Amino acid sequence: MSGGETEMVDMSGPVADAQAVLDAHVREIVQWHFDPDTGCPYWLDRAKSFDFDPLKDIQSFTDLKRFPPFDDEDLRGGPMRRWVPRAYAESPIYVFETGGTTGTPKSRIVIDDFRIDYELFSQTIPDEYFPPGSNWLMLGPSGPRRLRLAVEHLCQFRGGICFCIDLDPRWVIKLIKKGWMEHLEAYKAHCIQQALTILDSGHEIRCLFATPKLLEALALALEDRGSSIAEVGITGIFSGGTEFTPQWTRFATEELLGGPASEGGVYMTPTYGNTLMGLACSRPVVADDGYKIAYYAPQPRAVLEVIDPDNPDQLVEYGATGRVRLTTLTKEFFVPGFLERDEGEREAPCPLYPWDGVSGVRPFHKLAEATTVGVY
């Protein structure tokens, strides 16, 4: 692990308060998932093989280390009902999938989590740039993805109407793997054409979700027409879905969005998220900080840690590089200690988010060679 400079972090005050909230939340969630009246078959069955009693022995976030490493292969295939908490047996169930280019994708069940996550996220985006009541364009994946419904819900929650495109990210990955780059460009152009059609159709779109690559493609397509993101009326962009780098954020800010929002440009907020976690917000990204992007999970519903990949129970020092580990703690879904396919630097708590964050998120170097990043 590369070492960073050890920062002195004040662990009292808001940080300690957040920790107390997290520990209480852990107790509540573990009780819920391991109580036969409310828990799901998967965890109730797994508990039989544990050498501890989750109902008694898990009293804090630190106690979650007692769970064996979560095997993400368990997320592949059915029956999906094994993940449904008994308390929600009668509720309508969504299944959201990840990956799936080849073979059986990983999936999870959702009832309301995506709505809750995005309503929380809604509180973090400024009304000045995401005006309540305004319409959105969802320039991202369609199909069995959480993102499509979540962005639509975010828009509806804020009083707007969401316009979507058709985009199959699995086909994009296949095109890249086959080296069919002309087809890839054609498919991207097909997606952008759908977006342009929506923007040209009098829908008064003001807000946009886009992956970095699609945002770039849209901006360049508009530039080709002598226009820009700002000129078509978009004032706020929520971007995510694939890797974000400070260099790309700087390029987008300086050359695609008309400069920093504080100087009249379009506002863009990078996010990091997935089907398991929900959505990690970034603290404000500014030029003075080298466009550094630091993400903070929506604690206590999810916790991001940056750990030593050779010793997953050991956090790296602040500023040092490690693998991202995710713990999901909602009443719908409980996953302790899931090792993400990403790495990054551990970030100290900040006033807005008094818990650990992660910056410089990128594919975990030991897995990176096998990872294909598409337009989504």
- 3-state SS assignment for residue 207: strand
How many C-beta atoms surround the C-beta of residue 141 within 10 A?
25
CB-based contact 364:341 (threshold 8 Å): yes
Cβ of residue 5: shortest distance to another protein, in angstroms? 19
**Contact status: 32 vs another protein (CB under 8 A):** no
Q: Of 172 and 252, which has the nearer Cβ to another protein?
A: 252
- Mark the segment that binds another protein (CB under 8 A) among 103-111, 136-144, 241-249, 337-345: 241-249
**What residues are paired with 76 via a beta bridge?**
106
**Contact status: 216 vs another protein (CB under 8 A):** yes
Cβ of residue 226: shortest distance to another protein, in angstroms? 11
Tokens at 7, concatenated:
């920062």
The CA distance from 36 to 291, in Å, is: 48
**Contact status: 220 vs another protein (CB under 8 A):** yes
**Contact status: 368 vs another protein (CB under 8 A):** no
Burial group, residue 178, by CB count within 10 angstroms (0-12, 13-18, 19+): exposed
**Contact status: 376 vs another protein (CB under 8 A):** no
Q: Of 115 and 250, which has the nearer Cβ to another protein?
A: 250
Q: What is residue 76's DSSP assignment?
A: B
Site for another protein in 116-175 (CB under 8 A): none
- Mark the segment that binds another protein (CB under 8 A) among 27-35, 122-130, 215-223, 294-302: 215-223
**Contact status: 255 vs another protein (CB under 8 A):** yes
**Contact status: 244 vs another protein (CB under 8 A):** no
Half-sphere exposure of 96 (CA within 13 A, CB side): 21
Q: Which amino acid is at 216?
A: E
Q: Where are the alpha helices (DSSP H) in 136-208?
A: 146-157, 169-178, 181-199
Site for another protein in 164-193 (CB under 8 A): 176, 179, 181-182, 185
Q: Which of 247, 262, 311, 314 binds another protein (CB under 8 A)?
A: 247
Tokens at 90, concatenated:
């009668």
Cβ of residue 290: shortest distance to another protein, in angstroms? 6
Q: How far is CA 123 from CA 189, 209, 316, in A?
A: 33, 16, 31
**Contact status: 245 vs another protein (CB under 8 A):** yes
**Contact status: 250 vs another protein (CB under 8 A):** yes
**Contact status: 88 vs another protein (CB under 8 A):** no
Q: Site mask, another protein, residues 298-337, x = CB under 8 A?
A: ----------------------------------------
Among the listed residues 357, 348, 375, the one whose alpha carbon sits nearest the alpha carbon of residue 302: 357
Torsions phi, psi of 247, nearest 5? -65, -45
**Contact status: 291 vs another protein (CB under 8 A):** yes
Burial group, residue 328, by CB count within 10 angstroms (0-12, 13-18, 19+): buried
Q: Which of 50, 157, 171, 251 binds another protein (CB under 8 A)?
A: 251
- Mark the segment that binds another protein (CB under 8 A) among 35-43, 57-65, 101-109, 219-227: 219-227
Cβ of residue 274: shortest distance to another protein, in angstroms? 22
Number of residues interacting with another protein: please give it, by CB under 8 A.
20
The CA distance from 370 to 342, in Å, is: 12
**Contact status: 264 vs another protein (CB under 8 A):** no
Among the listed residues 267, 306, 258, the one whose alpha carbon sits nearest the alpha carbon of residue 286: 267
Q: How far is CA 193 from CA 66, 200, 218, 222, 259, in A?
A: 51, 10, 9, 10, 25
Among the listed residues 172, 353, 196, the one whose alpha carbon sits nearest the alpha carbon of residue 272: 353
Cβ of residue 148: shortest distance to another protein, in angstroms? 24
Q: Which of 164, 256, 261, 339 binds another protein (CB under 8 A)?
A: 256
- Give the interface with another protein as residue ranges (CB under 8 A): 176, 179, 181-182, 185, 216, 220, 223-224, 245-248, 250-252, 255-256, 290-291
